[in-house]
Amino acid sequence: MYMINWISPFNYDFAIAAIPIQIILLVFYGFRRNLPIRQSFCFWLVMAANLVMTSADIISCEMNEIWTEFPLWVMYAINHAYFMAFIIRGWSLFAYTAESTHAYKSSNILFRVITDLPAFTALVLIVSTPWTSAIYTIAEDGYHNCSLYPIIYFSTYFYIIVSILMVILNWHKLRVRMQAGLLSFNLLLLFGILIRKQFYHMLVTSYFSILSIIIIFLTSENPDLYRDGRTRLLNRNALDMIGRDYWEKKIPFNLLLLRIENYESSKSIYGIQQVNKNLKSIACWLRKNYPQYFAFYIRDGCFLLLIRGHSIHNTDKFMEKWKNRYDDLQKKDMGIVPIKASVMLLPESVIKANYNLASTLARYALNNAYSENHKGNFIFSDEMIEGMKKQKAIETAVKKAIKTRRFEVYFQPIFSNRDNKVVGAEALARLNDPEIGFIPPPDFIQAAEKNGDIMEIGRQIFENICVFLEHIDAKELGIQFININLSPAQCLNNHLVSEFTEIAEKHGIPMNTFDFEVTESMIEDYDLIKKQISGLQETGARLALDDFGTGASNISSLMHLSIHAVKIDMNFVHSYFNGKADFLPDLVRLFKNSDLRIVAEGIETKEMKEKIAEMGCEYEQGYYFARPLPPEEFVKFMTEKK
């Protein structure tokens, strides 16, 4: 077998083994569209410098043995290539770590100057070496290291140690994958340098460098980590990294958001394969029509275009062109599945003015694109910003209110036609924030359900009700029951019954005091609702169906639930008095024949009260009797009515 006879005494086995691996990675990485951030550029620079360093190291070692056969400038050139690539590789690995840990964000210009100084100094000394003999010299007797040669290793040690410190200091900010990758490759580099110092004639630096590069590739730089598997567009992880990089470096950009409104229903009707086919069509259309932008598929039918640069000139014209192109796509490539999409442009000027809220703005734009498009709005407006800020303020207010137990309970009386008096009340949550003021229940309930706080609010409201009942004589006041609303999220809580029972027992209130109201529109899982109803009924509590007429449930299905009462929604009642729901008396008779008690909501006049009573509704509720009252006023109201 033919063997290469090397001239120098150095062992090249590790270095030679690293070269083909490096070339493969460099080619693979170079031909993929990588993230447009400095971190990715640093990784590319690491690979390029490492390949030059490895190749130049082998060549220079051989040439230094027969230096007399080459011009002096060639000898300096090849040795310079090695030393400069060595320094650049070390600095690039440090810069990669700095970008990954976001160390540059919190540091000032002094930190950059200090950390760039060793590499800059080493490069200046290397370049000056032919005249100063600072790092090495090629004399009559060949190659020799000179007095300032140790600065090469000092630079390397400096960057590895500072990199490890950056990883440790920013440890809690990093994902587990990044923690493992950054710490392990820096420790591996340090170990490789120490091995090279101990075994001078073994060229192992390149080997440990390629191992570090492989670790970086596998943990954070593999392009497939940032691609959606179905559409091959950039994914949410890529958006987070690019967005944060642009934010830290104050790079201007616009966002165009596209949301498929019928995504979930299309999956149910046409199947996931057909919907995925449409997602791919949209992805191809985005790549074809907007190759200069970065296209993302976030999830659940949401696409995004990142348009780098300042605000788009003539945004109205841009959006009109977009809509025309998308209409053409709908006609040609969507097949049998009709895609209903909403779109919203988030201009650079809006993002710049609200930089810290960019991700919140994007989520708000996606969630409100459908309603805004129907108003003719396709560009994020000042009104939407105010709406978003209001929503954010409400979310903050809800968090504070939970912490300080600021939620209040108001009571709206329920009138009994049989007893001709008020016999109960519906408990309603209220929130008055010191800064915002009164927050409508739909607003803070929506925020609480979004953030997962609705469970705790439900517990606090129920305890407030129990505390109120504990300090009054309900029987003396004529209060026979209190109605309490349950949210969909509460009904998903397997501990609902035990939590409420524990609170009621703590305050000495029997559970048969309470009628829990479930909303018709939330009854999708009848088995789960039955389980909760059964558990509450075992404690003595009863359940009523709230807001009948607003959901999609059919009457026959409702008959299978163990409810004792139905509350007819106020809109249903008002429609009857406006001549649009003449069948209401028939519906009331149907419920009465099913032995269900009926509560009519929205009673505002004496005429409405008398007419509803004639139909056979046992209970009535509305402003005619009283608005929702705070506890003290409710007690006063009941005392006067008694």
Three-state secondary structure along 471-504? CCCHHHHCCCEEEEEECHHHHCCCCHHHHHHHHH
Beta carbons of 408 and 432 less than 8 angstroms apart: yes
- Give the Cα-Cα-Cα angle 207, 156, 110 (nearest 5 degrees): 140
Q: Residues in the chain, how many?
A: 642
Model confidence at 558, pLDDT cuts 50, 70, 90, reads low
Which residues touch 358 (CB under 8 Å, ≥6 apart)? 243, 247, 351
Q: Using CA atoms, how far apart are residues 545 and 565, in angstroms rounded to an integer?
A: 6
- What's the confidence (pLDDT) of residue 64? 86
- What's the confidence (pLDDT) of residue 94? 95
474: amino acid identity, one letter: A
Q: Using CA atoms, how far apart are residues 562 and 534, in angstroms rounded to an integer?
A: 8
Q: What is the DSSP letter of 221?
A: I
Looking at every residue in the chain, the average pLDDT score rounds to 85
Cβ neighbours, 10 Å, residue 374: 9
**Please, what sign has the CA dihedral across residues 593, 598, 601, 607?**
positive
End-to-end CA distance of the chain: 111
Which residues touch 416 (CB under 8 Å, ≥6 apart)? 422, 423, 424, 618, 619
What are the angstrom distances between the C-alpha of 559 and each of 406, 544, 565? 38, 12, 11
- What's the confidence (pLDDT) of residue 609? 94
User: Which of 144-153, 380-389, 513-522: highest mean pLDDT?
Assistant: 144-153
Cβ neighbours, 10 Å, residue 642: 10
Q: How many helices (H) and strands (E) does the chain have?
A: 26, 15
71: amino acid identity, one letter: P
Which position has the token pair 């008690």?
597
The H or E element that residue 584 is part of is helix 584-593
Q: Using CA atoms, how far apart are residues 422 and 159, in angstroms rounded to an integer?
A: 79
Beta carbons of 409 and 464 less than 8 angstroms apart: yes
Q: Give the strand pairing for 437-439 and 341-346.
A: unpaired
432: amino acid identity, one letter: N
Q: What is the DSSP letter of 551?
A: S
Q: What is the gyration radius of the CA atoms in the chain, in angstroms?
A: 36
- 300-348 pLDDT, tens digit per residue, is 888 999 988 876 777 778 778 887 777 777 766 555 566 777 888 888 8
- 353-399 pLDDT, tens digit per residue, is 766 667 777 777 887 788 888 888 888 877 778 888 888 889 899 99
Average pLDDT of the residues in 257-263: 84
- 11-30 pLDDT, tens digit per residue, is 788 888 888 999 999 888 88
Q: Using CA atoms, how far apart are residues 410 and 75, in angstroms rounded to an integer?
A: 89
Q: Token pair for residue 120?
A: 């800059």
- What's the confidence (pLDDT) of residue 2? 44
Beta carbons of 384 and 372 less than 8 angstroms apart: yes
Q: Phi then psi for 629, rounded to 5 degrees?
A: -120, 145
Q: At what angle do helices 606-615 and 584-593 cross, to 10 degrees?
A: 50
- 174-189 pLDDT, tens digit per residue, is 888 889 999 999 999 8
Which residues touch 138 (CB under 8 Å, ≥6 apart)? 64, 67, 72, 75, 76, 79, 144
What are the angstrom distances between the C-alpha of 517 and each of 312, 426, 551? 51, 9, 14
* pLDDT at 78 > cutoff 60: yes
584: amino acid identity, one letter: L
Q: Using CA atoms, how far apart are residues 518 and 446, in angstroms rounded to an integer?
A: 16
Q: Using CA atoms, how far apart are residues 169 and 129, in angstroms rounded to an integer?
A: 37
- What's the confidence (pLDDT) of residue 466? 95
Model confidence at 552, pLDDT cuts 50, 70, 90, reads very low
Q: Token pair for residue 191?
A: 């170990």
Any long-range contacts for 469-473 (C-beta under 8 Å, 24+ apart)?
469/507, 469/509, 469/513, 470/507, 470/508, 470/509, 472/635
Cβ neighbours, 10 Å, residue 478: 16
Q: What is the DSSP string of 83-118?
A: HHHHHHHHHHHHHHHHHHHTHHHH--HHHHHHHHHH
Within the chain, what is the greatest distance between any pair of CA atoms?
120
Average pLDDT of the residues in 111-125: 92
Looking from the CA of 77 toward its CB, the CA atoms found within 13 Å total: 5
Average pLDDT of the residues in 506-511: 94
The H or E element that residue 386 is part of is helix 382-404
Domain annotation for the chain: domains and CATH numbers: 13-225 (1.20.1070.10), 227-380 (3.30.70.270), 398-641 (3.20.20.450)
What are the angstrom distances between the C-alpha of 611 and each of 46, 573, 576? 83, 11, 11
Average pLDDT of the residues in 55-79: 90
Q: Phi then psi for 55, rounded to 5 degrees?
A: -65, -45
Which residues touch 174 (CB under 8 Å, ≥6 apart)? 100, 101, 167, 182
- What's the confidence (pLDDT) of residue 526? 62
For the CA atoms of 7, 10, 14, 20, what is the dihedral angle to 10 degrees? -30
Average pLDDT of the residues in 33-52: 90
Residue closest to 35 by CA, chosen among 184, 224, 303, 212: 224
pTM, two decimals, is 0.66
Q: Give the strand pairing for 481-486 and 514-519.
A: parallel
Q: Produce one character per residue of 263-276: b if its CB has 16 or more CB atoms within 10 Å, e if not.
A: beebbeebeeeebe
